[in-house]
Amino acid sequence: MLNPRSFLACLFITSFGALWIALIGEPLYIPDSYEQLLLAECLSTGGSSGINCVQIHPFFRPPFMAFLVWIFSFILPSIIAIGMVAWSASAVFIGTVWSWHAKEPLVAAAVFLCLLTAPLTLQIFGLADARILVLPMTFGAALLLKGEDIQLKKSALAGALLGLAALVRPEAQAAALLFAGAELLRSRKSALVLLACAAVPIALWLVILSVEADQLVLGPRWWEGYLLSTFEFIPRRWTLQLFGMGLFSPEARIIASSFPTAAQGASFNFGSGLQWLFNVCTKAIPIWVLVIGFIGGIRRILSKETRHTMMLLAAFACPNLIAAFLPQAQAPIFPHANLLPFFLVLLFLFAAEITFWCQKIPSVPAARALPFILIGTSGLLSTAPEAPIGIDRDPAGQAAVQWLKKNTTARQSIISSYENAPLIYLSRRKWQQYPAPWEKKRFKKAHYVVLSSLDAFWIAPDSNLRAPVAYFGGEEQWVAIFSLKKSAYKK
């Protein structure tokens, strides 16, 4: 039976969870969200649910998020399950942030208020995406390593968390190296234990990838290097369409692996990456908040007492910051999604620094209230960057989903691009990746083609399609459905 203190703790956590979900609102689905749903169903059903899993490489993307969605989907529809996983991860992350300043209640409350009221955090915590799941894992590892007391058990647990995080997002592999580097400031033995425990799940995953690829695979984004190398042969937008960022079109990956530039992999452009980073930061967070956050970070680095703590925060934020210099991380669909840890650390430092300054004021009641007033003001005066509406939320896309549900059967296959796959997923029909120009025979094995305003460049080579059987939207945003029956396809 629960004692009164435990009961109150459970009541508080439940109430906070309900408030948090109410503040976040409906989950924000992005293409990666549906990618995780596709992976979850292919891992669990092998395609029996209607999705063509033959075209999906189940372990190219880190599988842990899809595995959790699959577990939740036993009691919830998978489209809701992914939102629940993201909500739970964001709540756990907030809990770890509170624990970070457990000995400083005023600072903890200020940081908590900042993360709870900042429009940017409310938007990004509502993402139904794997990036959210990484946050409590990597920050939890930092929390275990925080402090002067060195315990190898905590180092091992931190390494295990980082290893699991790498099975959610591949950039977490860099986090393991950065955390080990920060640990070298305290103990070489602790750093080695951390690396060893992080390496176990990562190595197992790479072995599986190597067996599936029938060759040695040294990185989880092995095929993505091939994709990036095709940009000089094929327009970037078309390449992304063909590859689906590496998840789909195994045939295209095999062809790309024979290109002479395939070994080059990804390339960094520091100048353009820095400019992109500055533009995204200033749009996402007010300048004065950024400046105060950077001042707080510099002050902590210069102080011997807080240097290790700041190194842990940097290890938490830097993997995504480094990855942001890759071309594919700068996609315009949701630019700040790849910078979540970096933005969260800046907000974290801003709130802590404001509280630090206010504590220097002579002890008066107003001094304790001032940081909360400033943080609340920053939340009211800030606005999150406008998140683009996906095709699945657009009225034209929603009308197309209803048409497909009403006029097609579960056994029928529907061809669309990777970007339009959410429409086919939501209609619970069998999806096929849009074929490359040299794969036109695949049209004969499908029943319908779905095109949208995202695919305008595909229309010219497919001019032999007759008039659409259904059309929704206007000039800017539209969805067209074509029948592939013999009577509807020109010879």
Are residues 318 and 403 both part of a single domain?
no
DSSP-assigned states of every residue in 420-474? THHHHHHTT-EEEEPPPGGGGGGGGG-SEEEEEGGGGGGTGGGTTB-S-SEEEE-
What does the pLDDT average to over 327-336? 64
Confirm whether 258 is domain-assigned: no
Are residues 371 and 281 both part of a single domain?
yes
Are residues 157 and 286 both part of a single domain?
yes
| pLDDT computed for residue 196 by the predictor | 94
Q: Identify the domain boundary among 357, 381, 405.
A: 381
Are residues 400 and 346 both part of a single domain?
no
Confirm whether 388 is domain-assigned: no
**Angle at CA 218, nearest 5°, toward 260 and 129?**
105
- Count Cβ atoms below 10 Å from residue 364 Cβ, excluding itself: 9
Stretch among 124-133, 223-232, 291-300 having the lowest mean pLDDT: 223-232
- For the chain, report the end-to-end CA distance as a whole number of angstroms: 74
Confirm whether 344 is domain-assigned: yes
pTM confidence score:
0.79
Give the pLDDT band (50/70/90) at residue 32.
confident
Contact in structure between 39 and 58 (CB atoms under 8 Å): yes
Are residues 404 and 361 both part of a single domain?
no
What does the pLDDT average to over 119-125? 79
The pair of structure tokens assigned to 106 is: 């005023």
| pLDDT computed for residue 404 by the predictor | 94
Contact in structure between 338 and 324 (CB atoms under 8 Å): yes
| pLDDT computed for residue 357 by the predictor | 83
Question: Is a pLDDT exceeding 80 seen at residue 57?
Answer: no
Are residues 47 and 148 both part of a single domain?
yes
Q: Identify the domain boundary among 326, 354, 381.
A: 381
Are residues 414 and 334 both part of a single domain?
no
Contact in structure between 187 and 150 (CB atoms under 8 Å): yes
- For residues 343 and 280, give the distance between their C-alpha atoms in angstroms, rounded to a whole number: 10
| pLDDT computed for residue 263 by the predictor | 45
Confirm whether 260 is domain-assigned: no
Are residues 183 and 312 both part of a single domain?
yes
Residue span of the structural domain in which 435 resides: 395-488
Confirm whether 236 is domain-assigned: no
Are residues 39 and 127 both part of a single domain?
yes
Q: Identify the domain boundary among 381, 407, 436.
A: 381
Position with higher pLDDT, 190 vs 487: 190
Are residues 369 and 413 both part of a single domain?
no
Are residues 327 and 460 both part of a single domain?
no
| pLDDT computed for residue 280 by the predictor | 82
Contact in structure between 384 and 284 (CB atoms under 8 Å): yes
Question: Is a pLDDT exceeding 50 seen at residue 69?
Answer: yes
| pLDDT computed for residue 283 by the predictor | 80
Question: Is a pLDDT exceeding 50 seen at residue 139?
Answer: yes
Are residues 107 and 199 both part of a single domain?
yes
pLDDT tens for 41-55 read: 777 766 555 566 766
Confirm whether 248 is domain-assigned: no
Contact in structure between 371 and 354 (CB atoms under 8 Å): yes
What does the pLDDT average to over 471-477? 83
Overall domain count for the chain = 2
